[in-house]
Amino acid sequence: MRYAARVLAAVAAPLLALTLAGCGSGDESPRGGGSSPTSSVTAGGGEPKGDLTVFAAASLKKTFTQIGSRFEQDHPGTKVTFNFAGSSDLVAQLQQGAPADVFASADEKNMAKATGDSLTAAAPVDFASNTLEIAVPPGNPAKIATLADLTRPGVKVVVCAPEVPCGSAATKVETAAAIDLKPVSEEQNVTDVLGKVIAGEADAGLVYVTDVKGAGDKVEGIEFPQSSAAVNVYPIATLKGAQNKALADAFVAAVTSASGQGVLADAGFGKP
Amino acid sequence: MSLHATLRVPDRDVDVAVEVPTGRTVALLGPNGAGKSTTLAAVAGLIRPAAGEVRLGERILFCANGSSRFIPPHSRGIGLLAQDARLFPHLSVLDNVAFGPRSAGMPRGRARDRARHWLAQVDATELADRRPGALSGGQAQRVAIARALATEPHLLLLDEPLSALDVETAPSVRQLLRRVLAGRTTLLVTHDVLDAVLLADDVVVLDGGRVVEQGPTSRVLTHPRSSFAARIAGLNLVRGALDGDVVVGPEGMRVAGLVDDSSVEGMDAVAVFSPAAVGVYRVAPQGSPRTEVRATVTDLEPHGHQVRVHTAYLSADITPAALADLALTPGDEVVLTVKASEVAIYAG
Amino acid sequence: MTRSTRPGHAAYPRLGLPSWVFVPAALGALFVVLPLVAMLTQVEWSQFGALVTSESSRAALALSLKTSLASTVLCIVFGVPMAVVLARSRFPGQSVARSLVLLPLVLPPVVGGIALLYTFGRRGLLGHELDVLGLQVAFSTAAVVMAQTFVALPFLVVSLEGALRTGGQRFEEVAATLGARPTTVFLRVTLPLVLPGLASGAVLAFARALGEFGATITFAGSLQGVTRTLPLEIYLQRETDPQAAVALSLVLVAVATIVITLTRRSRTAL
């Protein structure tokens, strides 16, 4: 048995290494699993600089990339590397020991998982919010004007499954509006919902304001008052495993700064 | 019903005309690649010739001379027996034989009765319930014969039906064929002289996709005009121009013999003689026989109680004692002699 | 079976294999088996029953079996003639046709889903015609079956065409000279002889349909009992309940194993 366990471990170790490599940020980030720290801290009170790894929710890709390049300009000698993925995937990776300095979640639930596992170094800060909007194909073929229109017979509505954040938001909105949606599909994520609206398969979908903005003219967005029932708040926090806490804190500050907030507002994010 | 077939299959360089008179068996002889199987396949309708005509009795099965007609194999009324029995492995012996009648629309019961009748004809009644996998080669071929006959074909095609059988089994199946082929119109592909002698009335010899010789079996085997017919008849054949009573063959080889009346000076002729008539010497013998050929031994093989000595053009049969005396091995230079009285010369 | 009747069997173990091949072979086997073992260790067996018998799990399993079966039938109905045409006839552009038919084998299933969407979707190539006929494919169980058939069909065609080519035409030629019409030859000779090949092709197709994910989620959507098959359910459960995802994965592995084992057994009995 012992022997078998050793063999298992011997084979499993390289496999695990492969898996971890796959979980990483996916570019040539020079992080070597923490054993050989490559980031450096300027001694004394100067500007912090070095390498920074940020795990951020997929919906933050555009805005954070922009904030990141500004941050690099403001902090010469700094290189920011992002890992964009679903918030729950990111938390899972952090729990498995993936090296990162900052975590920005698309919801409070996943940030709570991270703080619960003592992965964060400080209390998370809310930096943005997002609300739902009705996305319809260009020209709005089903003539949707209000949330109640989605319950009209013959209107094909696609939402996220209740298991994922955008789906639970949709459920909240549904309850607040006292309507009963009969979706033709409950998708895995916002991209799949948006894809079906763009393809014209669905007459309408419930997605975030930022998704509608991000899709450009491929969909039209229709606001509805009940969206306030499900405001999705984005928290950000420096992580305990951060190689360069000062730099990580500086990045969190950059996100919450006026400049960072401006970038987020342009993309459709609301105030936290 | 008689078969008239003229076929051209350029893909395989075959251009032949074959006739099988009603009720007779014609053997198609020839070396490998001569076009025998192609001819058979074209008659059966398994391949489509580029040109020619296939007629069975009054019925045109195929023609491509201006107009065009192609009757598919299943409507030709032609049975085929291949080298291997090709019994359907998923059907019992009885259902294999009943397959043809069933395909013709006969109800199962009657088709099976018919199958039992034909199994009895080939002495295979007791095999009826077996699976083909449980049969020996000879048994399988008997069943295949019954299966081919059960469709009562107008023409039977046999493609080397005995070549896959071992020497103990072949004779009895050959006897069976001899019995069932009597009075049937049959085209038989073979390279075995015994099949030709015992089963065929006439032979057609193919070589390089062309008919090189045809006629009654006995005449072709005793007076071959093609080297292949001579070889399977176990005879030496030298082809060349006639000069007096001498055939001048390849590389100036001169073979003297008895010239038959039809031959004329200067025309193409063949000299034919048995290997037993050939003498083998290390050096040219005294008394200078009329025919004396220098040659190199290419091969030695046992032949009955004798040893056959092969050279480039001629073969000789000598006794094992003579072989030991001469101490021949392939590559040795020898002198071959033939008595003129043992050589038949006729128009080639 | 005695030694004398099957000498090859008795002699087989003595045939020398180079001993080093066992090392990569064992490593390869381990690479396949180890993740399954790892998954087994993750299952919370006390909750296993509850997890796999929840309403959504049962609905997903039932839908998966139903649609996979339907798509396997479709694969047989269309795949057998396709394989026969590819293996037995000659026509211009045949090799191109074969490559096209086999394309879904190498295509990412998501691409297949997108292609189906642009063909049978509302705004697709045939969308208008289907609409006129009152047929709306997207978001229906039929769409799931179509997606599965699209990805599974080549598996059946490939294995059946291989079986047809290996078997050759010897028996079919004899059958024709015995007076059997092409249809009779096909039904009574060709099909029975390739039955093992057809069976393994159908099993492959079924297994592929059972595991289909990408084309389904792209083309059919995801709704419990209608389009959410077991793989989609597993992927969704992963979001909130990784335990349930692992348990359901195990069910999928078990179903696939049972199907493959049953067929192998029936084939060896054949």
Q: DSSP string of A71-115?
A: HHHHSTT-EEEEEEE-HHHHHHHHHTT---SEEE-SSHHHHHHHH
- Do residues A202 and A185 make contact, with C-beta atoms less than 8 angstroms apart? yes
- Span C69-81, average pLDDT: 95
- Span B300-315, average pLDDT: 89
Asked if C217's CB is within 8 angstroms of A15's CB, the reply is no
> Which pLDDT score, from 0 to 100, does residue A35 have?
39
> Which pLDDT score, from 0 to 100, does residue A205 have?
94
Asked if B90's CB is within 8 angstroms of C180's CB, the reply is no
Residue pLDDT, tens place only, B129-140: 999 999 998 999
Alpha-carbon dihedral angle through residues A55, A56, A58, A63, given to the nearest 10 degrees: -130
- Span C160-169, average pLDDT: 88
Give the residue ranges of DSSP H helices in chain B: 36-44, 93-103, 108-121, 137-150, 170-181, 193-199, 217-222, 227-232, 320-326
Closest C-alpha to A65, from A13, A17, A25, A118: A25
Contacts of C176 in chain B (CB under 8 A): 45-46, 72-74
> Which pLDDT score, from 0 to 100, does residue A125 have?
94
> Which pLDDT score, from 0 to 100, does residue B196 have?
87
Who among C117, C221, C224 is closest to A187 (CB)?
C221
**pLDDT exceeding 90 applies to what percent of chain B?**
43
Q: How far is CA A180 from CA A157, A162, B163, in A?
A: 12, 14, 81
- 3-state SS assignment for residue B92: coil
Q: Tell me the two tokens of residue C92.
A: 């211009």
pLDDT score of B233 more than 80: yes
Asked if B74's CB is within 8 angstroms of C179's CB, the reply is yes
Q: Say whether A118 counts as a known binding-site residue.
A: no
Using CA atoms, how far apart are residues A36 and A17, in angstroms rounded to an integer? 17
User: Can you list the domains of chain A with their CATH numbers?
Assistant: 48-129+233-272 (3.40.190.10), 132-229 (3.40.190.10)
Q: Say whether A259 counts as a known binding-site residue.
A: no
- Helices C55-88, C195-211: axis angle to 10 degrees equals 140
Subunits with 3+ Cβ pairs within 8 Å of B are: C
pTM listed for this prediction: 0.74
Who among A186, A199, A200 is closest to C222 (CB)?
A186
Q: Which residues of C159-189 are buried (b: 16+ CB within 10 A; e: fewer)?
A: bbbbbbeebebebbbbbbbbbbeeebbbebb
- Do residues C176 and C116 make contact, with C-beta atoms less than 8 angstroms apart? no
- Do residues B109 and B133 make contact, with C-beta atoms less than 8 angstroms apart? no
- The helix (run of H) or strand (run of E) holding residue B337 is strand B333-338
**pLDDT exceeding 70 applies to what percent of chain C?**
92
- The helix (run of H) or strand (run of E) holding residue C94 is helix C94-106
CB atoms within 10 A of CB B339: 15
> Which pLDDT score, from 0 to 100, does residue A47 have?
67
Closest C-alpha to B137, from B195, B84, B89: B84
- Least confident span in A14-28, B29-43, B149-163, C237-251: A14-28
pLDDT score of C3 more than 70: no
Same fold for the pair B3-222 and B235-347? no
Residue pLDDT, tens place only, A215-260: 889 999 999 998 888 888 999 999 998 888 999 999 999 999 999 9
Subunits with 3+ Cβ pairs within 8 Å of A are: C
The residues spanned by each domain of chain B are 3-222, 235-347
Residue indicated by tokens 């390869």: C28
Higher pLDDT, B307 or A32: B307
- HSE (side-chain half, CA atoms, 13 Å) at A11: 19
Sign of CA dihedral B108, B110, B112, B118: negative
Long-range contacts made by residues A174-179, C-beta under 8 angstroms, separation at least 24? A175/A229, A176/A226, A176/A229, A176/A230, A177/A147, A177/A148, A177/A224, A177/A226, A177/A229, A179/A147, A179/A148, A179/A150, A179/A151
Contacts of B147 in chain C (CB under 8 A): 178
User: Can you list the domains of chain C with their CATH numbers?
Assistant: 68-222 (1.10.3720.10)
Residue C178, amino acid: L
Q: Give Cβ neighbours of residue A223 (< 8 Å, ≥ 6 apart).
A: A133, A134, A209
Closest C-alpha to B79, from B123, B173, B24, B144: B144
**Sorting pLDDT into bands at 50, 70 and 90, what band is B263?**
low
Distance from CA of C179 to the nearest CA of B (A): 4
Using CA atoms, how far apart are residues C226 and C144, in angstroms rounded to an integer? 9
Asked if C122's CB is within 8 angstroms of A200's CB, the reply is yes
Distance from CA of C242 to the nearest CA of A (A): 11
Q: Say whether A87 counts as a known binding-site residue.
A: yes
> Which pLDDT score, from 0 to 100, does residue A104 have?
95
DSSP string, chain A: -HHHHHHHHHHHHHHHHHHHHHHS-SS-----TTSS------SSSS---SEEEEEEEGGGHHHHHHHHHHHHHHSTT-EEEEEEE-HHHHHHHHHTT---SEEE-SSHHHHHHHHHTT-BSS--EEEEEE-EEEEE-TT-TT---SGGGGGSTT--EEEE-TTSHHHHHHHHHHHHHT-----SEEESSHHHHHHHHHTTSSSEEEEEHHHHHHTGGGSEEE--GGGGGSPEEEEEEEBTT-S-HHHHHHHHHHHHSHHHHHHHHHTT-B--
> Which pLDDT score, from 0 to 100, does residue B191 have?
81
Q: Say whether A3 counts as a known binding-site residue.
A: no
- Span C134-153, average pLDDT: 90
Residue C156, amino acid: L
Q: Give Cβ neighbours of residue C195 (< 8 Å, ≥ 6 apart).
A: C270
Residue pLDDT, tens place only, A20-53: 443 333 343 344 333 334 444 444 445 677 889 9
Tell me the Cα Rg of chain A: 21
pLDDT score of B177 more than 70: yes
Q: Please give the DSSP secondary-structure letter assigned to residue B156.
A: E
> Which pLDDT score, from 0 to 100, does residue B166 have?
85
Residue pLDDT, tens place only, B23-60: 999 999 988 888 898 999 999 999 999 989 999 988 99
B-interface mutation test, from C88, C166, C169, C178, most B Cβ less than 10 A away: C178
Sign of CA dihedral B184, B187, B190, B196: positive
Residue indicated by tokens 């030496």: B236
Asked if B88's CB is within 8 angstroms of C173's CB, the reply is no
- 3-state SS assignment for residue C211: helix
Alpha-carbon dihedral angle through residues C89, C93, C95, C98, given to the nearest 10 degrees: -80
Long-range contacts made by residues B233-238, C-beta under 8 angstroms, separation at least 24? B233/B193, B234/B193, B234/B274, B234/B275, B235/B272, B235/B273, B235/B274, B235/B275, B236/B272, B236/B273, B236/B274, B236/B275, B236/B278, B236/B313, B236/B314, B236/B315, B237/B270, B237/B271, B237/B272, B238/B270, B238/B271, B238/B272, B238/B313, B238/B314
What is the interface size between B and C, counted as CB pairs within 8 Å? 63
Using CA atoms, how far apart are residues C134 and B261, in angstroms rounded to an integer? 93
Q: Give Cβ neighbours of residue C270 (< 8 Å, ≥ 6 apart).
A: C195, C196
- Do residues B202 and B251 make contact, with C-beta atoms less than 8 angstroms apart? no
Burial of residue C258 (CB within 10 Å: 0-12, 13-18, 19+) is: exposed
- Span B48-73, average pLDDT: 88
Residue C16, amino acid: G
**What stretches in chain A show pLDDT beneath 70?**
1-47
- The helix (run of H) or strand (run of E) holding residue B295 is strand B291-296
Chain mean pLDDT for chain B: 89
Q: Which fold has domain B235-347?
A: OB fold (Dihydrolipoamide Acetyltransferase, E2P) (2.40.50)
Q: Does B48 touch chain C (CB under 8 A)?
A: no
Using CA atoms, how far apart are residues A60 and A47, in angstroms rounded to an integer? 26
Q: What pairs with residue A81 in β-bridges?
A: A53
**Which residues of C sit within 8 Å Cβ distance of A?**
27, 30-31, 34, 38, 117-118, 121-123, 138-139, 217-218, 220-224, 227-228, 232, 235-237, 239-241
Residue B85, amino acid: A
Residue C30, amino acid: L
DSSP string, C8-27: HHHHGGGSPPPGGGHHHHHH
Q: According to the CATH classification, is domain B3-222 in 3.40.190.120? A: no
Q: What pairs with residue B186 in β-bridges?
A: B25, B156
> Which pLDDT score, from 0 to 100, does residue A133 have?
93
Contacts of B99 in chain C (CB under 8 A): 175, 178, 180, 188
- Do residues C131 and C137 make contact, with C-beta atoms less than 8 angstroms apart? no
Using CA atoms, how far apart are residues B206 and B228, in angstroms rounded to an integer? 9
> Which pLDDT score, from 0 to 100, does residue C12 have?
52
Using CA atoms, how far apart are residues B204 and B212, in angstroms rounded to an integer? 8
